[in-house]
């Protein structure tokens, strides 16, 4: 099972590192400071991902009387405890369970596992995404935010581990946002809820308990469609999102021992994605590697690769590398073989740099 005690501690450290404020911007590269609102640095508490999300939901329901939360088993707190306390505080009228029915103001819907989102796919893609466009702006589904835990968890198997983000990235009209850590999750989720477009928010379930970080207690938002350079480097650009970033960070540390300086970018919003930041980084390094848990064919890495080639063809020193899940259904016992591990990424970094 991935994530033994040692890894948990490393993750805590990574959480702390990722949360430190970054140096000021260099040249054209846009590096976002970690929040656009004043942050009470003296008062943040160390909490994990599901608690950060829980805080965001409390704030959302408190600040907007039109907001409400629903999904399978959310009123007792949900299978991941993200909705704990909401029903007690805001009442059954605003926080309620739904029976098994993926297909159905500020609505914050929870899909229990991203693997179950497909029955709702038609409603999300054909109705929510297109309503504003086809009604000439008379109606819209902008108040809708759908939260779903996604990604591998070590033992999830076929239907508790999937990363379906690529399906939704193909739909103009919705936004897809994936946080990497508790502090990011709270700020991004509040932005998603308040964004006037329908948003699908994928939460890396592996990090619910394992990622711990100091998260400010107050209401703050992080901007959508802005990528963040979370580690600076000069030899190769790595692009990822969600839980995969912590694996990539480990690979960057390993590569540093071999004298390779890696720049790591968290995309944060997959559509509409921040092409400028990634392009600026690739223009600096000349090499790029993309990594995600979803299967490689047709994964979102393909879109990033194609766009980078279009924009930076003459600058590239090597082909765009992708280290992703295998083209198989998400396996049970074979999970360690399927996953884009630190060593696979490290090998690809070296191959790309030595091309």
Known catalytic residues are 102, 160
- The Cα-based distances of 279 to 205, 263, 304 in angstroms read 30, 12, 10
Q: CB of residue 84 vs other proteins: minimum separation in angstroms?
A: 23
- Cα separation, 87 vs 71, in Å, equals 12
- Which CB atom, from 98 or from 318, has the smaller least distance to other proteins? 98
Q: Tokens representing 100?
A: 């098994």
Sheet holding 269-271, edge to edge: 95-97, 67-71, 106-110, 144-150, 199-204, 175-177, 269-271
- Cα separation, 330 vs 114, in Å, equals 13
- Which CB atom, from 151 or from 198, has the smaller least distance to other proteins? 198
The dihedrals phi and psi of 265, each to the nearest 5 degrees, come to -115, 130
Q: CB of residue 282 vs other proteins: minimum separation in angstroms?
A: 18
- The Cα-based distances of 62 to 55, 57, 210, 219, 224 in angstroms read 10, 8, 27, 10, 22
DSSP letters for 285-320: HS-EEEEEEEESTTSHHHHHHHHHHHHHGGG-SSPP
Q: CB of residue 90 vs other proteins: minimum separation in angstroms?
A: 14
- Cα separation, 100 vs 285, in Å, equals 49
Q: Tokens representing 149?
A: 């835990």
- Which CB atom, from 30 or from 275, has the smaller least distance to other proteins? 275
- Which CB atom, from 193 or from 289, has the smaller least distance to other proteins? 193
- Which CB atom, from 268 or from 322, has the smaller least distance to other proteins? 268
Q: Tokens representing 281?
A: 């980084």
- Which CB atom, from 139 or from 337, has the smaller least distance to other proteins? 139
Binding site for other proteins (CB under 8 A): 93, 98-99, 101, 103-105, 122-123, 126-127, 132-140, 142, 172-173, 175, 195-197, 224-225, 272, 275
DSSP letters for 33-56: -S-SS---TTS-EEEEHHHHHHHH
Q: CB of residue 61 vs other proteins: minimum separation in angstroms?
A: 14
By C-alpha distance, which of 241, 210, 213 is closest to 228? Answer: 241
Q: CB of residue 60 vs other proteins: minimum separation in angstroms?
A: 17
Q: CB of residue 161 vs other proteins: minimum separation in angstroms?
A: 26
- Which CB atom, from 197 or from 277, has the smaller least distance to other proteins? 197
Q: CB of residue 176 vs other proteins: minimum separation in angstroms?
A: 12
Q: How many CB atoms lie within 10 A of CB 11?
A: 24
Strand locations in the chain, DSSP E?
Answer: 45-48, 67-71, 95-97, 106-110, 144-150, 175-177, 199-204, 212-215, 228-231, 236-240, 262-266, 269-271, 288-295, 321-325
């Amino acid at each position: 099972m991935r994530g033994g005690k040692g890894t948990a501690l490393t993750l805590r450290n990574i959480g702390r590192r990722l949360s430190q404020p970054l140096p000021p911007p260099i040249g054209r590269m846009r590096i976002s400071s970690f929040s656009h609102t004043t942050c009470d640095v003296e008062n943040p508490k160390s909490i994990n991902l599901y608690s950060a999300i829980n805080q965001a939901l409390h704030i959302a329901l408190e600040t907007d009387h039109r907001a409400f939360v629903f999904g399978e088993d959310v009123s007792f707190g949900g299978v991941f405890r993200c909705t704990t306390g909401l029903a007690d505080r805001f009442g059954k009228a605003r926080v309620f369970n739904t029976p098994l029915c993926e297909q159905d103001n500020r609505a914050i819907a929870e899909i229990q596992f991203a693997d179950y989102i497909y029955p709702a796919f038609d409603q999300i893609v054909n109705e929510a995404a297109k309503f504003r466009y086809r009604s000439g702006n008379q109606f819209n589904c902008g108040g809708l935010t759908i939260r779903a835990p996604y990604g591998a968890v070590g033992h999830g198997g076929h239907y508790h581990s999937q990363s379906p983000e690529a399906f939704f990235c193909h739909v103009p009209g919705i936004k897809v946002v994936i946080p990497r850590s508790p502090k990011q999750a709270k700020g991004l989720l509040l932005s998603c809820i308040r964004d006037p477009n329908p948003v699908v928010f994928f939460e890396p379930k592996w990090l619910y308990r394992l990622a711990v970080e100091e998260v400010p207690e107050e209401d703050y938002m992080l901007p959508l469609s802005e990528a963040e350079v979370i580690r600076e480097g000069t030899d190769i650009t790595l692009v990822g999102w969600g839980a995969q970033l912590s694996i990539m960070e480990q690979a960057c540390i390993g590569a540093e021992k071999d004298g390779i300086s890696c720049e790591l970018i968290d995309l944060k919003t997959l559509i509409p994605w921040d092409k400028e930041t990634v392009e600026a980084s690739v223009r600096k390094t000349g090499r790029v590697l993309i990594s995600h848990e979803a299967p490689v064919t047709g994964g979102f890495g393909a879109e990033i690769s194609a766009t980078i080639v279009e924009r930076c063809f003459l600058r590239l020193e090597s082909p765009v590398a992708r280290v992703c899940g295998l083209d198989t259904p998400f396996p049970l016992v074979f999970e360690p073989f399927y996953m884009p591990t630190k060593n696979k990424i490290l090998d690809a970094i070296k191959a790309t740099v030595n091309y």
